[in-house]
Structure 1
Amino acid sequence: MPLPLYLLAVAVFAMGTSEFMLAGLLPDIAADLDVSVGTASTLTSAFAVGMVVGAPLMAVLARNLPARATLLACVLVFLASHVAGAVTASFAVLFTTRVAAALANAGFLAVALTTAAALVPPDRKGRALAVLLSGTTVATIAGVPGGSLLGTLQDWRATFWAVAALCLPAAVGILTGVPPRPGARDSAGGPPLRQELAQLRNARLLVVMLLGALVNAATFASLTFLAPLVTDTAGLGELWVTVALVLFGAGSLTGVTVAGHLSDRRPGAVVAACGPPLLLGWPAMAVLANRPTALLLLVFTQGALSFAVGSTLITRVLYAASGAPTMAGSYATSALNTGAAAGPVIAATTLHTPAGAAGPLWVSGGLVALALTAGVSLGKPVGRITS
C-alpha cells in the first residue's frame, strides 16, 4: 500500500479518537455542564449529523480543489474546534463545536476515501479502505481508551486538548506526503457533478448505503453508552471502561483487517458469515451484562463483527458508486454517519425503561435484524447485494 494511505490514516486516528471518545466521557461532561447523560449523548448525534450533511456538501465544495489543500484545511478546522470545545463552559457552545468538527471530519473523510481509492488499482479498494479505517480502529484501541484514562485522571477537557495536539503531526504528514491531486480528484477529466449525483438513483447503491447505515447505527447505539454498562450493570470501576474500549478497539481492528483482505473478492461471504453472529451477540451481551468476564469477551467479539460487516458494506458503496469518482467518498461517509446519528438517539430512549443500561444493546440487536431483513426483503439476498 502507498505511503500516503498511512499518512491519511494518522489523521483518521486523530478524528476517530474524537468521534469515539465521548463513549468514556459522557458522565463527566454531563456532570460538569449540568445536563443529563441522555442530553450529553446528543453530542455524539450532533457530530454524526454534521458528518451526514457535511460529507456531500464538502465534497461538492472541494470538487475542483487540490486534494492536499482540502485535507489540510479540514484538519486545521478540526483542531480549532477542539480548542474551542476544551475552553467552553457552555453545553450549547460545546454542541456547536462538535458540529463544526464534524463538518471538517466529513470533508476530510469524503476526500480521503476518494483519494485512497485513487491511489490503488481498481480491484484493491477494500484493502485501501482497510488501511484508512485502521486509523479509526487504532483510535479505539489507543486513542479512545487513552482519552478515557486522561479524562479519569484529569478531566474531559484534557482529552479535547490531546486531540487538538494530535492534529499537528497529521497536518504535517498531509502537507509533506499526500499528492496535491490524485487521479480521481482531477475533476477536469471526470464526469460532471449532475452525472455523479445521478448515481444516487442506482438502487444497488442505495440498498448498500442503507445496510451500512443500519449496521453502523447498531454499533454506535451500544458503544455510546458503554461506560454506564461497564460501571453500573457489570459493577466494575471506572478504569474498566478503558479496558472495555481497548477490547472493542482490538476487536474492530481484527474485523476490519480480516474483512479488508476479503471485501474486494468475497464480500458476500463476509456478510453471510459475520451477520448472524453479530445479530445474536447484542442480545447475548444484554443478558450477560452483569457478568464482567462475559461482557468484556462480547465487547471484543461485537467490535470485530461490527467492523467486519460495516467496513465490507462501505467498501461496496465505493464500488457501487464507481461512476461518481469525486462524490463516492461522501456517499460512503453519509451512510456511515446516518447510522451514527440515529443509533445513539434511538438507544437513549431506552435508558429510563426497565431495560436500563442494557437497553441500547437490545436496540443494536434490533437494528442488525432490520439490516439483515432489509437485505432480503428488498429483493436481493445480502450476499448478492454485496457482490
Structure 2
Amino acid sequence: MPFPLYLLGLAVFAQSTSEFMLAGLAPDIARDLGVSVPTAGTLTSAFAVGMIVGAPLTALLGRRRPGRQSLLVFLGVFLAVHVVGALTGDFSVLLATRVLAALANAGFLAVGLTAATAMVAPDAKGRATAVLLGGTTLACVVGVPAGAALGQLLGWRSAFWAVALVSAPALLAVARSVPRGPADTAGPGPDAAGPGPDARAELRALRRPRLRSVLCLAALVNGATFCTFTFLAPLVTEVCGLEARWVPAVLALFGAGAFAGVTAAGRLADRGARAVLPAAGAALLAGWAALAVAAGQPAAAVALVPVLGLLAFGVGSTLVTRVLYEAVDAPSLGGAFATSALNVGAALGPALGGAALDGGLGHRSPVWVSALLTAVAGLVVRGSARRRERTA
C-alpha cells in the first residue's frame, strides 16, 4: 500500500479519537462550563448530526477542487476548532466547534476514501479502505482510553489539546506526501484531469436499488456496533459484575478485535466479499445474541467481546468497500455516501439503546437491540436478493 495512505489513516485516528472521547469527558465539561450532564451530552449528538449532513455537503462543495487541497482544508479546520474548543469557557462556542469539527471530519473522510482508492489498483479498494478505517479502530484501542485518562488527570481541555497536537503532524504529512495529481497516483481520482460527472449525475447513482441496499446494510450494522459499544461499560459493571477498573481493558479488547476485523476485511473485500458476508453476518447475529445471554458470566462475556469487535468491524468495513464499488460512477460522492451511512448508524444505534435503557429493559437491552438491527439487516439482504431474482 502507498505510504500516503497510512498518513491519511493517522489523520482519521485523530478525528475518530475526537468523535468518541467525549463519552468519558461529559461530566467534567458539565461542571466546568456550568451546564447539566445531559446538556453536555448533546456535544456527542451534535458531532453525529454534523457527520451525517457534512459528508455529502462538503463532498459537493469540494468536488471541483483538487483532492489534496480539500484534505488540507478539512484537516486544518479540524485542528483549529479543537484549539478554540480547548480555550473557550462558553458552552455554546464549544457546541459550535463540535459541529464544525464534524463537518471537517466528514469532508476529510469522504474525500479521503476517494483519494485512498485512487492511489491503488481498481481491484484493491478493499485494502485501501482497510488502511484508512484502521485509524478508527486504533482510536477505539488507544485514542479513546488515552483521551479519557488524560481528561481525568489534567482536565477535559487537555484531551482537546492532544487531538490538535496529533492532527498537526498529520496535516504536515498530508501536505508533503499525498500526491498532487493523477501522475502520482495509480489511477484517476479527485485530482484527475478532465471533467467528471456532474453532481446530478453522481446523485442519480442513489436511485440504484443495489447501492441503496448496501448503504442501508452499512447503517444497520454500524448502528448495531455502536449501540452495544456505547453501553458496554454499564454492561461490564452492572451485568458482568466486574469492577470499573476492568472497563478500559474490555473496551481495548473490543478495539483490538475491531482492528483485526478491518485488517481481515481489507484482504477479503476485493475478491471474496459475496462469499464471506452472509456467513459473517449470521455469525455476528449469533454473537450479539450470545453476549446478551451470557453477559452474566464474566469469562464468557469478556471472551465474546473481541470476537464481536472483529465480526462487527469486519462486516462494516466490507460493506463500505461494497459502497465504493457500487458507486463507481459517483467518484466524488461515493465516499460521502459511505460516510453518511456509517454515521446514520452511529447516531441511530446508541439512541435506540438509550431508549431501551430508559424504558427499564435492563443493561442487557442494548445488546438485544444490536441483535435486532443485525436481524433487520439480514431481512434487507433477503429482500434485495428476491428483487434481483424477479428482475432476472
Q: TM-score, normalised by structure 1?
A: 0.92
Give the 5 Å matches for 1:205-354.
Answer: 205-354=211-360
CA deviation vs aligned residue, 1:64-90 (integer Å, no higher than 9, x gap)? 112112111111211222233334455
Are the equivalent residues in 2 in contact too, given 1:146–1:242 (CA < 8 A)? no
Farther-moved stretch of structure 1 (177-186 vs 226-235) = 226-235
Give the direction of change, closer, same or farther, for the CA distance of 1:26–1:375 in structure 2 (3 Å limit).
Answer: farther
Match of 2:178 in 1: 178
Match of 1:35 in 2: 36
Q: Distance in 2 between matches of 1:236 and 1:84?
A: 38
Q: CA RMSD in A?
A: 2.2
Give the direction of change, closer, same or farther, for the CA distance of 1:31–1:278 in structure 2 (3 Å limit).
Answer: farther
Give the direction of change, closer, same or farther, for the CA distance of 1:71–1:122 in structure 2 (3 Å limit).
Answer: same
Match of 1:366 in 2: 372
The count of aligned residue pairs is 382
Match of 2:3 in 1: 3
Question: Which amino acid in the other structure matches residue 60 of structure 1?
Answer: L
Q: Distance in 2 between matches of 1:341 and 1:135?
A: 20
Give the direction of change, closer, same or farther, for the CA distance of 1:364–1:90 in structure 2 (3 Å limit).
Answer: farther
Are the equivalent residues in 1 in contact too, given 2:55–2:340 (CA < 8 A)? yes
Question: The residue matched to 1:339 in structure 2 has which SS?
Answer: helix
Are the equivalent residues in 1 in contact too, given 2:26–2:37 (CA < 8 A)? no
TM-superposed deviation, 1:317? 0.3
TM-superposed deviation, 1:307? 0.6
Q: Distance in 1 between matches of 2:249 and 2:93?
A: 31
Q: Distance in 2 between matches of 1:161 and 1:378?
A: 46
Q: Distance in 1 between matches of 2:272 and 2:387?
A: 14
Q: Distance in 1 between matches of 2:80 and 2:370?
A: 33
Match of 1:96 in 2: 96
CA deviation vs aligned residue, 1:134-180 (integer Å, no higher than 9, x gap)? 11111111111211222333333322221111111110110110012
Unaligned stretches of 5+ residues in structure 2: 183-187
Q: Distance in 2 between matches of 1:43 and 1:119?
A: 35
Give the direction of change, closer, same or farther, for the CA distance of 1:367–1:237 in structure 2 (3 Å limit).
Answer: same
Are the equivalent residues in 2 in contact too, given 1:63–1:326 (CA < 8 A)? yes
TM-superposed deviation, 1:34? 4.4
Question: The residue matched to 2:270 in structure 1 has which SS?
Answer: coil
Give yes or no for the alignment of 1:53 onto 2:58.
no
1:375 corresponds, among 368, 378, 381, to: 381
Give the direction of change, closer, same or farther, for the CA distance of 1:85–1:362 in structure 2 (3 Å limit).
Answer: farther
TM-superposed deviation, 1:41? 4.5
Give yes or no for the alignment of 1:143 onto 2:143.
yes
Unaligned stretches of 5+ residues in structure 1: none
Farther-moved stretch of structure 1 (16-25 vs 217-226) = 16-25
Farther-moved stretch of structure 1 (229-238 vs 185-194) = 229-238
2:205 corresponds, among 191, 199, 202, to: 199
Are the equivalent residues in 2 in contact too, given 1:22–1:224 (CA < 8 A)? no
